Structure 1
Amino acid sequence: MKIEEQKFKVNGLSYTVRSALVQDAKSLSEIRVQIDGETENLDRERGEGFIDAPGFEQIIKADTESRVNLFLVAEADGRLVGFSRCEGNTLKRFSHKVEFGICVLKDYWGFGIGKNLLMQSVSWADSNGISKIMLNGVLETNVKAIQLYKKFGFEVEGVLKNDKVLSDGKYYNTVVMGRFNG
């Protein structure tokens, strides 16, 4: 599905949040690898689960045509700097919910990009009959993200203990969160 483009100016940075376009595929492939290497908050290390430009083209086309998927990008300084994705399920028993994920280049943290990607996704879900948004993996140490999600009505639904091993060799918990608007 697609949303109407939104413009923001936060801390002196002007940026746009819009639906992903097929021509974004190459940039998405590149920044996903970069973001994965900048933080351990995500599930992948740099280069793992690589999606090439044709792979992103397929995802974008499918998401644009789907009533229960939404793929958003944030664009600043003439380039993509972050993205988010809601992925729904066509099975009737799960058709009321989507899984949500978000990532932003580290140089663009602190400008509300994650917050505005989340806000647009929540607004889209609420106006399209989707009553539940799931986050299946917020690293317990990502306190800023957990606080942001709580501001938008997400609640902790569970904790997956010793779920991830990070570069320090230690095990960390994953927080499962959800927002229900039913």
Structure 2
Amino acid sequence: MKLNPIEFYIRNLSYTIRSAKENDAKNLSEIRLQIDGETENLDREKGEAYIDEVGFKKLIKEDTESAHNIFLVCEVNGRIVGFSRCEGNQLKRMYHKVEFGVCVLKDFWGYGIGTNFLKETIRWADSTEIKKITLSVLETNEKAILLYKNYGFVEEGILIKDKLLSDGSYYNTVIMGRFNE
């Protein structure tokens, strides 16, 4: 699915959120690798489950052609600084829902990029036959959990001791969902 570009200006930063294009693939491969090394809030450590340029081109093509997927990027001065994806399911019993994921370079935290990805994703989902958006978030990412709750997500469950982080401790994953009736 495609989204028309939307301009934002927050705290002296101008950025655009738009649908990913196939020529973004190389950039996306590089920034995903960087983001994975900047935070433990994501599932991957730097270099794990690496997606190269060809892999991103395939994802972008599939997401653009599917009514149940959306792949958004945030661009600042021609540079991609974050992205979000919603991936749907073709199985009839799960056709009504999508799974949301987001990541933003650490230097660009605090500019509402993640919030605006979420808002545009919700707007897109609400304008389609999608009824439910799901996501998972690390229990220590309290800021993200609060953001999701503010946009109608509820906690649906906890995966106990789901992630082993660099401090050697296990952490829970919070499963959240937003249902649009």
What TM-score do the two structures reach when normalised by structure 2?
0.99
Q: CA RMSD in A?
A: 0.5
Letter in 2 for 1:99: E
Aligned to 1:116: 116
1:178 matched to 2:177: yes
Deviation at 1:4, TM superposition (A): 1.0
1:1-150 paired onto structure 2 within 5 Å: 1-135=1-135, 137-150=136-149
Q: Report how far residue 62 of structure 1 moved.
A: 0.5
Report how many residues are paired. Answer: 181
Distance in 2 between residues matched to 1:76 and 1:113, nearest whole Å: 11
Q: Which runs of 4+ in 1 moved over 3 A?
A: none
Alpha-carbon distance in structure 2 between the residues aligned to 1:125 and 1:17 = 16
Name stretches of at least 5 consecutive residues in structure 1 with no aligned partner. Answer: none
TM-score (norm 1): 0.99
Per-residue CA deviations over 1:33-59 (Å, capped at 9, x if unaligned) read 000000000000000000000000000
Deviation at residue 87 of structure 1 after TM alignment: 0.2
**Map of 2:165 onto structure 1:** 166
Q: Percent identity?
A: 66
Deviation (angstroms), 1:24: 0.3
